[in-house]
């Protein structure tokens, strides 16, 4: 019910017109309102049962992008309950919170490593920064892929343009696994799209027709672009049949090669979204 949902989420509020919401389930940012405008897409069919991944916002993919032989698709981070380690803290014009996820019996059964993930979400009037620090707390190296699966809200997908992919290699997951080269200056979506672009520029401009947002990646070399389009939308139980018109996923990740993290080491990866 609603009460349970309220207890399970953190609200970052700068003022009435600028706020964000983060569910402890998956540390999923589900809403970001900048100057009274919602920037993120959240499906009206999303299930909040603390089991299934939330359909929308910014799910965290870790320790595996895509189908995983050891556990659930996209890993376990988006379906585990995270803990607040530093409550919402307002400093000047920004407010931030820190959440953490550590290995437990359930994660070790799938992936037998000792780790801590620290997720810092920082909101300003014009930006949302989400930084993920991965710590190896064990005595052996582990490797992983990771990604911030951001769903951007758009009024009409046919007006959307995404920049900075020209000349890059990508794997087209709709057509198969073969690598192709992007010829377009701007990506437009008019069919099912599921592409993994390798070694992308650190910045992408997403022009939704009615607004422009910039996605800046840090330590996340790849970018996935996804829209399920008509048939796939119908096939997903937690996604409305028409909602493909109102979203685009532009996902900053480290997915083409696994990152090897030595024991007792840590690394921070993340993104900042800026509204223009
Ligand atoms: C994208 C993948 O990142 O996530 C797609 O490239 C996948 O292949 C999509 O369909 C959604 O995944 P899920 O597990 O949330 O349905």
From the CB of 224, is ligand 1 less than 6 Å away? yes
- 204 an active-site residue? no
- With 50 as the cut, is the pLDDT of residue 1 above it? no
Cβ of 74 less than 6 Å from ligand 1: yes
* Domain annotation covers residue 160: no
Q: Which two tokens stand for residue 80?
A: 């585990």
Rounded to the nearest angstrom, the distance between the alpha carbon of 66 and the centre of ligand 1 is: 7
In a domain, 258, yes or no: yes
Domains identified in the chain, total number: 1
Report yes or no on 122 lying in a domain. Answer: yes
On whether residue 209 sits in a domain, the answer given is: no
Residue 62 lies in a domain: yes
Closest ligand 1 atom, CA of 194? 6
The pLDDT score that the predictor gives to residue 177 is 72
Measured CA to CA, the distance from residue 13 to residue 124 in angstroms comes to 9
Q: Domain with 260 in it: what CATH number? A: 2.70.98.10
Q: Which residues pair with 127 in a beta bridge?
A: 274
Q: What is the mean pLDDT of residues 43-69?
A: 97
Q: Mark whether 74 is an active-site residue.
A: no
Does residue 264 surpass a pLDDT of 50? yes
What DSSP string runs through 164-205?
S-TT-EEEETTT-S-EEE---SEE--SS-EEEEE-S--SEEE
* Pairing mode of beta strands 266-275, 18-23: unpaired
- The pTM of the full predicted model, rounded to 2 decimals, is 0.97
Confidence grade of residue 210 (pLDDT, cut at 50, 70, 90): confident
Ligand 1 contacts CB of residue 226 (under 6 A): yes
* Active-site residue identified among 25, 74, 149, 204: 149
Domain enclosing residue 270, as ranges? 2-154+188-196+215-275
Mutate to test the pocket of ligand 1, among 65, 71, 226, 243 (most ligand atoms within 8 A of CB): 226
């Amino acid at each position: 019910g609603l009460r349970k949902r309220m207890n399970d989420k953190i609200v970052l509020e700068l003022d009435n017109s600028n706020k964000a919401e983060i569910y402890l389930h998956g540390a999923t940012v589900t809403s970001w309102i900048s100057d009274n405008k919602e920037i993120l897409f959240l499906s009206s069919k999303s299930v909040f049962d603390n089991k299934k991944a939330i359909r929308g916002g910014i799910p965290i993919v870790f320790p595996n992008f895509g189908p995983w032989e050891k556990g659930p698709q996209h890993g376990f981070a988006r379906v585990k309950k995270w803990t607040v380690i530093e409550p919402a803290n307002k400093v000047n014009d920004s407010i931030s919170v820190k959440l953490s996820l550590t290995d437990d019996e359930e994660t070790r059964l799938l992936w037998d490593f000792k780790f801590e993930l620290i997720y810092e979400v920082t909101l300003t009037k014009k930006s949302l920064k989400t930084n993920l620090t991965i710590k190896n707390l064990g005595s052996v190296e582990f490797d992983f892929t990771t990604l911030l699966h951001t769903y951007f809200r758009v009024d009409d997908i046919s007006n959307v343009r995404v920049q900075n992919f020209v000349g890059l290699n990508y794997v087209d997951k709709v057509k198969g696994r073969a690598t192709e080269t992007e010829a377009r200056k701007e990506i437009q979506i008019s069919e099912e799209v599921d592409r993994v672009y390798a070694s992308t520029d650190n910045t992408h401009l997403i022009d939704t027709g009615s607004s422009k947002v910039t996605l800046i990646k840090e330590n996340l070399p790849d970018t996935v672009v996804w829209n399920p389009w008509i048939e796939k939308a119908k096939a997903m139980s937690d996604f409305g049949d028409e909602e493909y018109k109102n979203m685009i996923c532009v996902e900053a990740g480290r997915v083409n090669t696994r990152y090897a993290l030595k024991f007792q080491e840590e690394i921070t990866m993340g993104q900042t979204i800026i509204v223009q």
